[in-house]
Amino acid sequence: MEKIEVDKALLSVKEVCLYLGIGESKARELLTKTNNNFTVRIGSRVYANKIQLDKWIASNSGNRVERRRPVRRREPKEENSIGMRMMM
C-alpha cells in the first residue's frame, strides 16, 4: 500500500482513493458530481484540497440520525348505531 505525503496540499484521484479507502469511481463521483468545496480543477484534471477534504469529512461523519415527524394516524370513523344493528 502506498503512503501519502502528509504535507501535500492537493490529492490526485488515486490518492483520494487511498486516503478515504474508496474505489476510483466513487472518488471521481465525489470530486465531479457533488457540490463540495474541496474539489480543485486544473485543466481537465480534478484534485482534492486535503485541508478542505478533512473538514468535509469531519462535518459529514458521526451517527447523526434525521428526526422524523410522528405519523398522524387516522381515527377510525364511528359507525352509526343503525349500521351496527344491521350487522348483528
> What integer best gives the mean pLDDT of the chain?
82
**Higher pLDDT residue, 65 or 34?**
34
Q: Tell me, what's the pLDDT at 87? A: 59
One-character DSSP codes across 44-77: TEEEEEHHHHHHHHHHH-S---PPPPPPPPPPPP
The answer to whether residue 13 scores a pLDDT higher than 90 is yes
| pTM given for the model | 0.62
How far is the C-alpha of 53 from the C-alpha of 27, rounded, in Å? 12
| Averaged pLDDT, 39-60 | 93
How far is the C-alpha of 86 from the C-alpha of 88, rounded, in Å? 6
The answer to whether residue 34 scores a pLDDT higher than 60 is yes
If we measure between CA atoms, which residue out of 39, 41, 77, 40 comes closest to residue 56? 39
Q: State in words which class domain 10-60 has.
A: alpha beta
